[in-house]
Structures are given as C-alpha cells and as structure tokens.
C-alpha cells in the first residue's frame, strides 16, 4: 500500500532580510511517521517547523498538506517554548486552547491532564511550574482537539529523566494508537533515535539527507564486541581463521569488524575452551550517523 503523504515541502526557501536560512529544502512526511529533524543550532530546523505551523511564510517554494489544514486544530504544535498563560492554571490553559479551537469543555480536559501527568496541579499557576511541567503542559495544549499532526520543537527540553521517558512513551502511544503523525526535533539525539522512524538531516539551510531508522542502523560497518577469559589467545585464533579482529584494552575486549556469523565465532571459542562472558553487536547510532552526514556535508 502506498504511503499517504501528510506534508510535502518542495523547494522551500526562507530568508531573513538578505540572509538565507532555508535553501531549496525538499522533504516528504507520510501518515504515521515520526519524523525527526536533525541539525545543529541555526541549521534551519525551527524555521521549517515555524513554516509548517503557519507562524512564518516561506519566501520561496511551497508545501502540500495531506490533511485539511483549514480545520482548526488539525495540527498541534509546541514551538521553541510552551505557549501558555503564566497566570493561569494548567486546566484553565487547556480551557483557553479549547476555546481557541472552538471546542466545548468536556471530560477530555481531565484526560489530557492525566495523560501528561498534570492532573494534580489544581489551581497552581503555570508560571510557578517547573520547566518540565511547563513542557508537559505545552504538549497537552498541542494534543487538544485530536490533531492529525504534532509539530514539536525540542519537546523534551528541560525534562528530567523520568519526564523524558514519560513524554517519549506518550508520543509513541499517540503515534501507534491514534496514528498521529509527529514531526519532532531534539538536541538529544539518543532520545530522537528511540522515537523517530524517519529522519531529515539539515545543515546550513539544506536538507542534506533523508533516511529511515533502518538505513541509519545499517549504514555503517557492524562491530562485534566480545569479552572472554583468554582474550589474547582468542584474538589470535580469530585472526588465524580470517576474521578482522583486534585486541582492545581498558576495558579488555576483542572486537570483530564486519558481518559475522555468531555461531562460527562461538564454535571457535568452544573448541579452544575459551569462556565468553559477554557478546554484543554494535550498530551505527544516530549520533555517529549525524557526524558522518553533517561532517561529510561540511567537507
């Protein structure tokens, strides 16, 4: 089945005065994607998000939307910082967003508050919330009205580890259970890697690469790390059998580069009565891939 396009940017350009910020950016986001925008500060991520949400107009190019953008609240947003009234409670802030979208107050206000863990804040003013609580309230506001798309710029900024896990689980739940398409950016690449299914790498206003999680994981050379009791002997045996292995110290281990059949190397160890205590495969992670892609683009 063909993917349903939700957002398609073609030749997107944006300049502030004479300074170009986006240069001929193209990307497609399909229904159900969690699309991670990756790039350093000033690369153009936020500008893309602001254009997607209507906060700014592009100076060139156009965007096709696969959903009815005129419908109020079709896209929930959290851009740069939560847009909330500091002198109102969490519940009142949600009520304002309900009115903003032309919705009637109902039980879903409490459900959303529970979902983001702010159900017990009572009449406490949002201005007195911690950064994490404010962030969660921002996400709650973005969720009002069952949007088809969530555009979230740094949504886990300022959250504690528990908060990060909760928000991540929440976004995954929204994506999987409600089929909400999510466009997200974050400086915490390890977190983004756990969430996103597709990535767009931006550097200096250019979309330099689009790829899936699978492509990232299988982009680089695989590495197997083995810990055992006779490291030197095992390394020699592996080399003798034609494996590209290396003895690494501190912590002591043997590494094997490239695609390896685990049964083969296990048999070698068993025959030599070497006891393997740990064995794991390391795939290319988002951080390494990012450095690779962005570094390559800078060269």
Partner 1 sequence: MIQLLKFEFYRLLKSKISWIILAVMTVLPVLAVIVISLFIKLGNEDRITPDVAKFMTWLVISYFYKWVPMVTALFIPIFTGRNFRDGFIRNMITAGHTRFQIFASAVISKAVYTALLCTGYVLGGILSLLVSPVPVNLNGGEMLLRALTLMLSAVATSVLYTTLVMVIRNKAVPIILSVLFVMSFTVCGLLASSFSYNHKMVRQYSKIWTKTARENGFASEFDEDGYFNVGWYAGHPLFVFTNASMENEFMFTSSSLVSDINGATSYSDEISRNNFNSVSSYLFSKNAGIVGNEAIKKHVDGAYVSVERAELEYNMKSVVWIMIYFGAGYAIFRKKNIF
Chain positions contacting partner 1, by CB under 8 A: 53-56, 69-75, 77, 79, 81-88, 92, 95-97, 99-102, 141, 151
Of 204, 236, 207, the C-alpha closest to 35 is: 207
H helices of the chain, in order, are 45-52, 90-100, 108-115, 131-143, 161-178, 189-195, 213-217, 231-240, 262-271, 286-298
Q: Give me the least distance between CB of 16 and partner 1, in Å please.
A: 8
DSSP state at residue 29: E
Query: Do 60 and 96 contact (CB within 8 A), yes or no?
Result: no
**In angstroms, what is the minimal distance from the CB of 24 to partner 1?**
21
Of 102 and 161, CB closest to partner 1 = 102
Residue among 207, 215, 211 at smallest CA distance from 35: 211
Compare residues 30 and 59 and give the one whose CB is closer to partner 1.
59
Question: Least CB distance from residue 15 to partner 1, whole Å?
Answer: 12
Task: Choose among 178, 100, 174: nearest CA to 139.
Answer: 174
> Which C-beta is closer to partner 1: that of 95 or that of 187?
95
Q: Minimum Å distance from CB 115 to partner 1?
A: 18
CB of 128 to partner 1, least distance (A): 14
Q: Is 25 helix (H, G, I), strand (E, B) or coil?
A: strand
The residue among 64, 53, 56 whose CA lies nearest residue 9 is 64
């Amino acid at each position: 089945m063909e993917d349903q396009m939700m957002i398609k940017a073609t030749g997107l350009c944006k300049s502030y005065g004479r300074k170009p910020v986006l240069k001929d950016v193209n990307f497609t986001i399909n229904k159900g994607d969690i699309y991670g925008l990756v790039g350093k500060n000033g690369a153009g991520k936020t500008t893309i998000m602001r254009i997607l949400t209507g906060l700014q107009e592009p100076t060139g190019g156009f965007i096709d939307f696969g959903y009815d953008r005129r419908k109020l609240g079709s896209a929930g947003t959290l851009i740069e910082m939560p847009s909330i009234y500091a002198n109102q409670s969490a519940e009142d802030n949600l009520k304002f967003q309900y009115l903003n979208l032309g919705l009637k107050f109902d039980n879903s206000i409490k459900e959303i508050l529970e979902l983001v863990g702010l159900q017990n804040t009572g009449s406490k003013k949002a201005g007195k919330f911690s950064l994490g609580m404010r962030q969660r309230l921002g996400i709650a506001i973005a969720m009002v009205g069952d949007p088809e798309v969530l555009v979230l710029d740094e949504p886990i900024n300022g959250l504690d580890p528990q908060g990060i896990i909760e928000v991540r689980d929440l976004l995954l739940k929204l994506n999987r259970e409600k089929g909400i398409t999510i466009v997200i950016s974050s400086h915490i690449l390890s977190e983004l890697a756990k969430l996103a299914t597709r990535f767009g790498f931006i550097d200096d206003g250019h979309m330099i690469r689009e790829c899936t999680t699978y492509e990232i994981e299988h982009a680089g050379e695989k590495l197997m790390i083995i810990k055992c009791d006779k490291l030197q002997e095992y390394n020699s045996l592996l080399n003798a059998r034609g494996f590209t292995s290396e003895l690494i110290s501190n912590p002591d281990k043997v590494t094997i580069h490239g695609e390896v059949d685990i049964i083969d190397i296990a048999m070698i160890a068993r025959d030599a009565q070497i006891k393997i205590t740990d064995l794991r495969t390391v795939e290319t992670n988002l951080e390494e891939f990012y450095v690779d892609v962005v570094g390559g683009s800078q060269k």
